[in-house]
Amino acid sequence: MSVEQTEPQSFNLSEFDVSTDIKAYVHSLFSVSVHEEKAMEQSISEISQDFLSARYTSTNAGLTSLTSSFIDSQIPLKPLELDHYLKFLYGTVVNHSNHTSSPRFIGHMTSALPYFVRPLAKLIVAMNQNVVKTETAKTLTLHERQALGMMHRLVYGFSESFYQQHIQENGSTLGIVTSGGTSANISALWCARNSVLGATEEFAGVEKSGLAAALKFYDYDRAVIIGSSLMHYSFDKAADLLGIGAQGLIRIPADHQNRIELQTLRQTVAECRRRNICIIAIVGIAGTTDSGGIDSLKEIADIAQAANTHFHVDAAWGGPLLFSKQHAKKLVGIAQADSVTIDGHKQLYLPMGLGMVLLQNPHLANVIQKRATYTARDGSGDLGRRSLEGSRPASALCLHAGLNLIGVEGYEVLVDEGVRKTQYMANHILSHPEFELLAEPEMNILLYRYLPSRWRSLAALGKLTQADNNAINLFNQQLQKFQRQIGQTFISRTVTKTTAYGKGLAITALRAVIANPCTTESDIEDVLNDQIQIALELEQSLLKEQSAS
Ligand SMILES: *Cc1c(COP(=O)(O)O)cnc(C)c1O
């Protein structure tokens, strides 16, 4: 996409001389159905189509060189001409953005979206509802509650009468819509903390009295959250905000399948009991961000139940597996969770900024309830009463639309296809000596690495030393960076410590995430061939460097 192609149409703003008639100009910005809006929509729609149909993943402009276009910190005194501003927006910002919807952009959890969410996002902005309270979001409050009820039913599958009773009952909270998985995890653990250290007849509870007083009252030395070493870093944020500190987040090692070690979990829980430590929650992961590994949720649920502790499942990535007859069984035990995080902007294929936490007990969220006189009134249906966020957009409109327009069977296809194509990629990697598969994929995330030719025979014999692995790590880092810079295809990278090379040895892995429904087998082959090509050049230049030194 060149700047020429992105040339916006000229706009008829000449009615007002922006430099002299500022009052008339500002008023014109708020008028309905102006000619300018139509023209701008037309131009943006063309730019979007261009952007969406690109197959390359990014231009080769580096971040450092782009930075120079973004250092001016002065707010213009006079409004800029619209076409002048749009030219900058298209040419500099949009043009060099990442094509997350490209079928060859298969390295992150962000991919293509169904077409209908784009016009719906426009509708959300046009209506500009504020879902914090019913007075600014009358029907969208009900609409959101209905969507949450559907998601609750997907996870917990309670009776029809349960949903009839709670779905629109102001006193019940089947779930909370958030801006993403991070806020959802924080909200869940906030509920867990306030519940376990709640009010009694003699004590006002942690919500009123704070953590120090609560631990003292309940005779605990400290409080912790327990999960695997692969917990998302949003749990670090939660531990920090909830006042238990980084040391309050206990990370238990994961096995070679990236699952929490159950025996260590049992021992840790027992030790917490012995040492007077309050367990706020035990966390199970349904699809780790790194590798897609799924904890043994059923076993963790039983451990949590025996310890009478809140069980939270972070299914931000893997939750939609529940739509699939074939793969839902991997999440067995999730219905025993007190709270479940699912991201809408990941495998529900909804726009960025949509997550949710679902709550088994419709009254759990009462422990975080707040009120204000001008809003969030007692007994009202104001959603802001029981949510971390205040003013927020009606993004759940897209959730409701997605559930209705894609449906259970549609989501099942999306899930099954992703897993199937990931298996295809794994098989392709296994049959190419240039690559090494680092773990069997559990769902649609794949960890592998490139093996430069001089290490292939040693690797086949299982005789790589730590020094060899360090060198291969460095090589894969460079490979991933070059591939990203060239911008024809994209794979992310991570560091994994749970491979066949033994626990604790840090291996740099290339990480594929296959979620884009438009990604085909031949796209996958192209991405891998691109990597082989780049790696060959890299190997050659490294050889040259060595012989020169
Ligand atoms: C993505 C993710 C999160 C965080 O969600 P955001 O929407 O990025 O805030 C938490 N946990 C897991 C397992 C994730 O994959």
DSSP output for 30-61: T-TT-HHHHHHHHHHHHHHHHHHH--SS--S-
> 396-430 vs 117-127: helix axis angle to the nearest 10?
150
**CB of 343 closer than 6 angstroms to any ligand 1 atom:** yes
Q: What is the pLDDT of residue 1?
A: 38
**Gap between the Cα atoms of 303 and 297, Å rounded:** 10
Q: Are 249 and 235 in contact (CB under 8 A)?
A: yes
Q: What is the pLDDT of residue 9?
A: 40
- Return the best residue to mutate from 343, 395, 399, 513 for the ligand 1 pocket (most ligand atoms within 8 A of CB): 343
Nearest to 339 by CA among 310, 298, 303: 310
Q: How far is the CA of 317 from the centre of ligand 1 (A)?
A: 7
Q: How far is the CA of 496 from the centre of ligand 1 (A)?
A: 18
**Alpha carbon separation from 438 to 295, 313, 497 (Å, rounded):** 18, 26, 10
**CB of 316 closer than 6 angstroms to any ligand 1 atom:** yes
Contacts of residue 439, Cβ cutoff 8 Å, sequence gap at least 6: 256, 257, 258, 291, 293, 447, 496, 498, 499
Q: What is the pLDDT of residue 548?
A: 82
**CB of 291 closer than 6 angstroms to any ligand 1 atom:** no
Under-50 pLDDT residues of the chain: 1-11, 13-14
Q: What is the pLDDT of residue 10?
A: 41
Sheet strands (E) in 344-461: 355-359, 435-437, 445-450
Residue 108 DSSP SS3: coil
> Which atom of ligand 1 is nearest to 315's Cα?
13
Q: How far is the CA of 185 from the centre of ligand 1 (A)?
A: 8
Q: What is the pLDDT of residue 430?
A: 96
Pairing of strands 355-359, 249-252: unpaired
How far, rounded to the nearest angstrom, does the alpha carbon of residue 538 sit from its chain's CA centroid?
33
DSSP secondary structure letter of residue 287: S
**Cβ atoms within 10 Å of 140's Cβ, excluding its own:** 22
Q: What is the pLDDT of residue 275?
A: 96
Q: How far is the CA of 290 from the centre of ligand 1 (A)?
A: 11
Q: How far is the CA of 436 from the centre of ligand 1 (A)?
A: 27
The letter for the amino acid at 44 is: I
- Return the best residue to mutate from 236, 289, 492 for the ligand 1 pocket (most ligand atoms within 8 A of CB): 289
No. of helices (H) and no. of strands (E), the chain? 16, 11
Q: Are 443 and 422 in contact (CB under 8 A)?
A: yes
Q: What is the pLDDT of residue 371?
A: 77
Residue nearest to atom 12 of ligand 1 (CA): 316
User: What is the chain's alpha carbon radius of gyration, rounded to the nearest angstrom?
Assistant: 26
Q: What is the pLDDT of residue 32?
A: 77
